[in-house]
Structure 1
């Protein structure tokens, strides 16, 4: 799978101080062919006993590679780098057929967006995680913080994207079907819907992932012994 770009931004303006001779920058991190960090994979989101997302080769909980795994069908799909692990909102995969999966991204803390903001994406699959497509779900100047207000749900036929505000929750519903590319005109019979929750109920109640997990989780105490390794 080709690398998926999660955000558009002035990447070179972001730098984290390193104690060694090599200064870590997001641009170098994103462009590295292979991340050198010596850490074990972490399961950061579990759908059920055999479907899960791992964070691998990570410098910390915000900077690594993510993979979708299905141990029952031996699917292992590369998802991206420095995006998915930073999503702070609610994520529910509630399709009993196990065909539909949606995975949102975000950006690391203090990520520098352009003066037009960051275009933040989610990826979705209708073939049980073998392949993924991407589409925008948010425009933000602070994706890491703003993603905390998001709830993203996959069901047997739809993606629901809900954003909570101080006043109400806005819910958008998108068709989830192999015939539909969310970035192109839809075939006849498919459409988007949107509504303020206080005015119209759009998203069903009692939706849950089989595992019960609804947020990504990473053990920040697991760190590499070589965090300042050069990025080539």
Structure 2
């Protein structure tokens, strides 16, 4: 009986050690992701393998403003905000932006406010992964980043989100009921140089508008979702190891 008890105790200790290791990995992953954005890592140039693929326009605002993906494999690559009239070409979040399955309407008539969300794929464990959106108040020349969702499967849960960009801010709409379609709505202010992760300038604040009707905001092109042809992949992939 004593030997059996000792074996059980050993097994319990092993399970506790495994749980502790998994928890540490999950927490470290979330902290590393936050550090990536907070430290500006998303803006640093990288030198990935140069893939022989044609750029894809994955989101079009109008005839001269769009988001493209370049140097990619199965829609996972380098993403750029481009304004051909203003001569703007800004690298934004890397990865597969088309994993964001929600709606996106960019309808600021001044052209200054731009919002681009992400929704990482895969699973994230019990703690979940943070999903960010990039926002610009200078017509896409520069972007700052804000966490808008924490989820175990951001790419799946993103279908419940809509982001509507207006002249004075953007609306983050989240469906909270699949039965009656009820939503929560937060409007974030957008003014030049604002940092949504820091205290706002005087007289600016978030607005909670769940009980109020939303304005009709429509992207000039009519597009309201990312699209990417995932069947396209480079022919010069490095050989598998």
Structure 1-normalised TM-score?
0.79
Distance 2:104 2:209 in 1: 20
> What is the rounded CA distance, in whole Å, between the counterparts of 1:10 and 1:191 in structure 2?
27
Sort the Cα spacing of 1:222 and 1:169 in 2 relative to 1 into closer, same or farther, 3 A: same
Deviation string 1:165-187 (CA, Å, 9 cap, x unpaired) is 31411111100111521000111
Query: Structure 1 pair 230/131, CA: closer, same or farther in 2 (3 Å)?
Result: farther
Structure having greater relative contact order (Cα 8 Å, sep ≥ 6)? 1
Provide the residue aligned with 1:71 in structure 2.
84
The counterpart of 2:202, out of the listed 171, 188, 192, is: 188
1:17-60 Cα deviation digits (max 9, x unpaired): xxxxxxxxxxxxxx973133211100000000000000111110
CA distance in 2, matches of 1:180, 1:55: 27
1:220 equivalenced with 2:230 (yes/no):
yes
State the structure with more CA Rg.
Answer: 2
Task: Give the number of the structure whose residues are more often helix, by fraction.
Answer: 2
1:210 matched to which residue of 2? 220
2:138 match = 127
CA distance in 1, matches of 2:108, 2:46: 35
Root-mean-square deviation (CA), in Å? 2.2
Structure 2 partner of 1:18 = none
Q: CA deviation at 1:188?
A: 1.1
Q: Are the aligned partners of 1:163 and 1:171 in contact in 2 as well (CA < 8 Å)?
A: yes
**Residues 93-126 of structure 1 deviation map (CA, whole Å, 9 limit, x = unaligned):** 0100001100111113xx1314311111001000
Query: Within 5 A, what are the aligned runs for 1:40-79?
Result: 40-61=54-75, 63-79=76-92
Checking the alignment, whether the CA contact within 8 Å between 1:10 and 1:114 is kept in structure 2 is no
- Which residue does 2:165 correspond to in 1? 154
How many residue pairs end up in the alignment? 198
What's the TM-score once normalised by structure 2's chain length?
0.76
